[in-house]
């Protein structure tokens, strides 16, 4: 199983919109969201808000049987209307283009414990 933990800055003034974006996944867009995650290969996804003196950040955790790079490729190239909307919203809220590989290496998990 793959585990991935990443974070994205939330652009100034966009925190409430980001919260609404996330809430829509369990509300009005739930079926589309779940289908998107299944297509990508995710089995678990958690999003949290971290407020810091440097600004607000989205902290994201995912689990999958699929390599995270493959999941990102699937999202970047998907023509599904939900995935296109999702990519646009990520650009608006975070300034991140999911169609481009992120700079630098992926996060390195140093410690992972289960009780």
Q: Kindly list the domain boundaries of the chain, sorted by start residue.
A: 2-94
Model pLDDT, residue 22:
95
Q: Tell me the pLDDT tens digit for each residue of 101-110.
A: 777 787 888 8
Q: Tokens 């955790």 — which residue?
A: 61
* 113: confidence class by pLDDT, cuts 50, 70, 90: confident
CATH class as words, domain 2-94: alpha beta
Model pLDDT, residue 93:
98
Model pLDDT, residue 53:
96
Q: Tell me the pLDDT tens digit for each residue of 19-66.
A: 999 999 999 999 999 999 999 999 999 999 999 999 999 999 999 998
Average pLDDT over residues 5-22: 96
Has residue 81 got a pLDDT over 90? Answer: yes
CA separation, residue 100 to residues 20, 33, 36, 44, 47 (Å): 25, 21, 19, 23, 21
Q: How far does CA 4 lie from the centroid of its chain?
A: 10
């Amino acid at each position: 199983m793959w585990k991935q933990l990443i974070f994205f800055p939330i652009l100034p003034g966009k925190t409430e919109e980001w919260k609404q974006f996330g809430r829509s996944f369990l509300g009005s867009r739930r079926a589309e969201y779940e289908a998107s995650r299944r297509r990508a290969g995710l089995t678990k996804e958690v999003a949290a808000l971290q407020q810091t003196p440097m600004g607000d950040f989205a902290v994201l955790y995912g689990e999958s049987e699929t390599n995270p790079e493959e999941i990102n490729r699937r999202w970047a190239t998907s023509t599904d209307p939900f995935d296109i909307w999702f990519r646009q919203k990520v650009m608006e809220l975070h300034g991140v283009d999911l169609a481009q590989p992120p700079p630098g290496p992926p996060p390195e998990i140093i410690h992972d414990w289960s009780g």
